[in-house]
A and B are shown apart, each in its own frame.
Chain A
Amino acid sequence: MSAAVATTSTSDSTPAALETGYNFAYLDDQTKRMIRRAILKGIAIPGYQVPFASREMPMPYGWGTGGVQVTASVIGPSDVLKVIDQGSDDTTNAVSIRKFFARTAGVATTTRTRAATVIQTRHRIPEEPLAEGQVLVYQVPIPEPLRFLEPRETETRTLHALAEYGLMHVKLYEDIARHGHIAKTYAYPVEVAGRYVMDPSPTPKFDNPKMEMSPALQLFGAGREQRIYAVPPYTRVRSLDFEDHPFTVQRFAEPCALCAGTGVYLDEVILDDRGGRMFVCSDSDHCEERRAAGHRGTMLADGTVDGETTDA
Chain B
Amino acid sequence: MREGALIEARGLTKLYGGHVGCTDVSFEIFPGEVLAIVGESGSGKSTLLSVLSTEMEPTAGSVSYRMRDGSVESLFDLDEARRRVLMRTDWGFIRQDARQGLRMRVSAGGNVGERLMAIGERHYGRIRATAEDWLSRVEIDVGRIDDRPTTFSGGMRQRLQIARNLVTHPRLVLMDEPTSGLDVSVQARLLDLIRGLVAELGLAVVIVTHDLAVARLLSHRIMVMRQGRVIETGLTDQVLDDPREPYTQLLVSSVLAA
In the complex the two chains form, is A170's CB within 8 Å of B122's CB?
A: no
Chain A contact residues, majority secondary structure: helix
> Interface extent on B, as a size class?
20 to 34
A/B interface sample: 16 pairs, CB < 8 A: A149-B103, A149-B105, A158-B80, A166-B114, A166-B117, A167-B114, A167-B118, A169-B122, A170-B110, A170-B113, A170-B114, A173-B117, A173-B124, A242-B124, A244-B124, A245-B124
Does residue B256 face the partner (Cβ distance < 8 Å to A)? no
B interface: dominant SS: helix
- Complex contact A177–B146 (CB within 8 A): yes
Contact A170 B124 (CB under 8 A): no
**A28 at interface, CB cutoff 8 A:** no
Q: For chain B residues 87-127, which have a beta carbon within 8 Å of chain A? A: 103, 105-107, 109-110, 113-119, 122-125, 127
A170 to B103, alpha carbons, bound, how many Å? Answer: 10
Pick the residue among B80, B124, B128 that contacts A162 (CB under 8 A). B80
Query: Is B81 an interface position by the 8 A CB rule?
Result: yes
Contact with B along A177-198 (1 / 0, CB 8 A): 1100000000000000000000
Report the 10 A-B pairs with minimum CB-CB distance, sorted nearest first.
A166-B118, A169-B117, A166-B117, A242-B124, A243-B123, A162-B81, A170-B110, A177-B146, A244-B125, A170-B114
Cα distance A244–B119 when bound, in Å? 17
Do residues B122 and A242 form an inter-chain contact, with CB atoms below 8 A? Answer: yes
Residue A289 at the chain B interface, CB threshold 8 Å: no
Chain A window 5-45, contacts with chain B (Cβ cutoff 8 Å), 1 for yes, 0 for no = 00000000000000000000000000000000000000000
Mark interface residues in A69-87 (1 if CB within 8 Å of B CB, else 0): 0000000000000000000
Q: Is B251 an interface residue (CB 8 A)?
A: no
Mark A residues whose CB is within 8 Å of B: 149, 158, 162, 164, 166-167, 169-170, 173-174, 176-178, 241-245
CA–CA, A69 and B84, complex, Å:
37
Contacts of A164 in B (CB 8 A): 84, 118
Task: Determine which of B105, B109, B119 lies in contact with A166 in the assembled complex, contact meaning CB atoms within 8 Å.
Answer: B119
Binary contact track B127-165/A, C-beta < 8 Å → 1, others 0: 110000000000000000110000000000000000000
Instruction: Considering the complex, give the chain A residue whose CB is closest to the CB of B83.
Output: A162
Complex Cα spacing A166 to B116, Å? 8
Whether B145 and A177, one on each chain, are in contact in the complex, defined by CB atoms closer than 8 angstroms, is yes
A243 B122 Cβ-Cβ under 8 A: yes
Chain A positions within 8 Å of B103 at CB level: 149, 170
Q: Is the CB of A177 within 8 A of B109?
A: yes
Task: A241 to B84: give the CA distance in the assembly, Å.
Answer: 24
Chain B residues near A (Cβ < 8 Å): 80-81, 84, 103, 105-107, 109-110, 113-119, 122-125, 127-128, 145-146
For B81, list chain A residues within 8 Å (CB).
162
Q: When the two chains form the complex, which single residue of A162, A173, A242, A245 contacts B109, counting CB atoms closer than 8 Å?
A: A173
Assess whether B127 is in contact with A173, with CB atoms less than 8 Å apart: yes
CA distance A242 to B125 in the complex (A): 9
Min CB–CB distance B206 → chain A (angstroms): 24
Which B residue sits closest to A178, measured CB to CB?
B146
- Which chain B residue shows the least CB distance to A150? B103
**Cβ–Cβ contact A174 & B119, under 8 A:** no
Q: How far is B117's CA from A149's CA once the two chains are assembled, in angstroms? A: 14
Q: Which residues of A contact B80 (CB under 8 A)?
A: 158, 162
**Contact: B124 with A174, CB < 8 Å?**
no
Contacts of B109 in A (CB 8 A): 173, 177
Complex Cα–Cα for A64 and B4 (A): 61
| Contact indicator B84/A162 (Cβ below 8 Å) | yes
Q: A173 with B110: in contact, given A166-B115, A166-B118 (CB under 8 Å)?
A: yes
Which of A149, A174, A242, A243 sits near B107, CB closer than 8 Å? A174
A177–B109 Cα distance when bound, in Å, is: 8
Q: Which residues of B contact A241 (CB under 8 A)?
A: 122
A30 CB to closest chain B CB (Å) equals: 36
Q: In the assembled complex, how far is the CB of residue A147 from the closest CB belonging to chain B, in whole angstroms?
A: 12
How far, in whole Å, are A92 and B110 apart by their CA atoms in the complex? 41
In angstroms, how far is the closest chain B Cβ from the Cβ of A243?
A: 5
A270 to chain B, nearest CB (A): 33
Partner of A177, one of B84, B107, B117, B118: B107
Find chain A residues with CB under 8 A from B128 CB.
177
What residues of B have a CB within 8 angstroms of the CB of A173 in the complex? 109-110, 113, 117, 124, 127
Q: What distance in Å separates the Cβ of B37 from its nearest Cβ neighbour in chain A?
A: 27
A246 to B201, CA, bound (A): 35
Docked CA distance A213–B113 (Å): 32
Further pairs besides A173-B127, A177-B109: 10, Cβ < 8 Å = A166-B117, A166-B118, A167-B114, A170-B110, A170-B113, A170-B117, A173-B117, A177-B145, A178-B107, A242-B124
A166 partner residues in chain B, CB cutoff 8 A: 114-119
- Whether A242 touches B110, Cβ cut-off 8 Å, given contacts A164-B84, A173-B117, is no
B110 neighbours in A (Cβ, 8 Å): 170, 173-174, 177
Name A169's closest neighbour in chain B (CB-CB).
Answer: B117
